[in-house]
Structure 1
Amino acid sequence: MRTEFHAELDRLSSELGEMCGIAASLMECATVALVRADGPCLDRVPAELARLDAIDARARDRAMAMLALQAPVARDLRMVVSAIQIAADADRMGGLAANVAKIARRHHPDVAVPEIAADHFVQMGRVAVDLARDVQSAVLTGDVDHAERVQHDDEAMDDLNRGLFGLLTDLRWDHGTASAVDVVLLGRFYERFADHAVEIARRIVFRSTGRAPLRTDEPRAHVIRR
């Protein structure tokens, strides 16, 4: 019985890793579409999003069946509950990438963002994809050290997002209010994508160790030492 349970855990981890990989591919494609008005990339997004949703449903069903039929406890219970949460985070990452693609689609065949902001989004896309692939690796391997490092890797995304606001307040910005709104929304989509990747990393640490790691925005003075 326990052998079957752990085989199901392996299948569940594989599905979660695949979800993180799809989220990475979606954001990579959405970014190319955003800064290059790439039609083929836009066309791939709906199918990839549907594939992500299908795996999400399958993973959640598997996890719920494991809870109902196997009654896991301790570390096994953490593994299954964390899997449900990781699936939700990965699914949301895919949705945020799709939001980027929607803005690109709305402007197609024109490029969706002004040239002055394009490089920021290229860099934000690179950081987002790297984070998603890093947590994919951590999900598949269970490497706690790797997951803990990922928790601090989104600082580059925060810096880039702050840089976008600097562009918008620059006196040289002459691209209008509608374009500025798009830039703000896009920055938020990328930032939230990174936040969900960090949440996945936190859940990986928790499922393996039973301790909730310190949030990157949580003051260390609030940590209670026993």
Structure 2
Amino acid sequence: MREVFQQEMREVQERLVEIAGLVADSIEKATKAFNESDVTLAEEVIAEDPKIDAATVELDELAITILARQQPVARDLRIVVSALRISASLERMGDLATHIAQLARYRFPDKVVPKALRPTFAEMGRLDVEIARKLADLLQDTSNVKLAEEIHDEDDKVDALHLEVFDKVLGETWKGETVDTVDATLASRYHERFADHAVLIAKKVLYLATGDWVPESV
């Protein structure tokens, strides 16, 4: 029975890594669609989101089965419960990537934001993709504290860019139309929240690796 239990625990981790990889692919395609006004790529992201949703549901069912049948305790219990929470955050990250792709689709053939903000969003997108890739690596190697710290540092950069977008759209020199203001505000928020969820996951992994918990702030 113990061997079966350990196999199920490995499967939980493998599925988390798989979902994180799907999310990383999704945000990479979504940011490219957003920045390049690629409606075909945007549609691809939207069409693939149900795959992420289905994968998280399957993981949750596995975790619940383990809780009911194996009745884990101590660290094993924390791992299974954390997997359920991480799964929820990954599912939300997939949704946020889809929201970014939807903005690209809605505004096609135009670009979503005015020219003045495009470099800012290109950098936010680059950081989100990098964060997502590092998160998948962290879930594969949960003892890599350095990766968790890098995710946190890059989230700080996304937060700074998020504030920069708000400063621009609320500034006196802003020439965008109302729709531009709304799109820029929403897109910036989606990018910022995507990174925030990655940080929450990194904190949970760090806790499992070290026993040290950092209070959640988002």
Q: Where on the TM-score scale, by shorter chain, does this alignment land: which range?
A: over 0.9
* Structure 1 gap segments, 5+ residues each: 219-226
- The reply to whether residue 205 of structure 1 matches residue 201 of structure 2 is no
1:86–1:200 contact (8 Å) kept in structure 2: yes
C-alpha separation in 2, matches of 1:137 and 1:118 = 29
| TM superposition shift of 1:152 | 3.0
Percent identity over the alignment is 36
Q: Give deviations 1:168-205, integer Å, cap 9, x for gaps.
A: 13433212111111101111111100000000001101
Q: Give deviations 1:41-86, integer Å, cap 9, x for gaps.
A: 1121133211111110110000000000000000100110000000
C-alpha separation in 1, matches of 2:141 and 2:59 = 18
C-alpha separation in 2, matches of 1:30 and 1:144 = 28
Q: How does 1:23-42 map to 2 (within 5 A)?
A: 23-42=23-42
1:75–1:208 contact (8 Å) kept in structure 2: no
Q: Give the total of aligned pairs.
A: 217
One-letter code of the match for 1:15? R
Q: Counterpart of 1:135?
A: 135
* Alignment RMSD: 1.6
| TM superposition shift of 1:134 | 1.0
**Structure 1 length normalisation: TM-score?**
0.90
Describe the SS at the equivalent of 1:151: helix
**Structure 2 length normalisation: TM-score?**
0.93
1:100–1:186 contact (8 Å) kept in structure 2: yes
Describe the SS at the equivalent of 2:131: helix
1:52–1:91 contact (8 Å) kept in structure 2: yes
Q: Which has the larger displacement, 200-209 or 57-66?
A: 200-209
Describe the SS at the equivalent of 2:154: coil
The change in CA–CA distance for 1:81 and 1:12 in structure 2 (over 3 A counts) is same
* Structure 2 gap segments, 5+ residues each: none
Q: Counterpart of 1:69?
A: 69
| TM superposition shift of 1:214 | 5.0
Q: Counterpart of 1:179?
A: 180
2:112–2:184 contact (8 Å) kept in structure 1: no
| TM superposition shift of 1:104 | 1.0
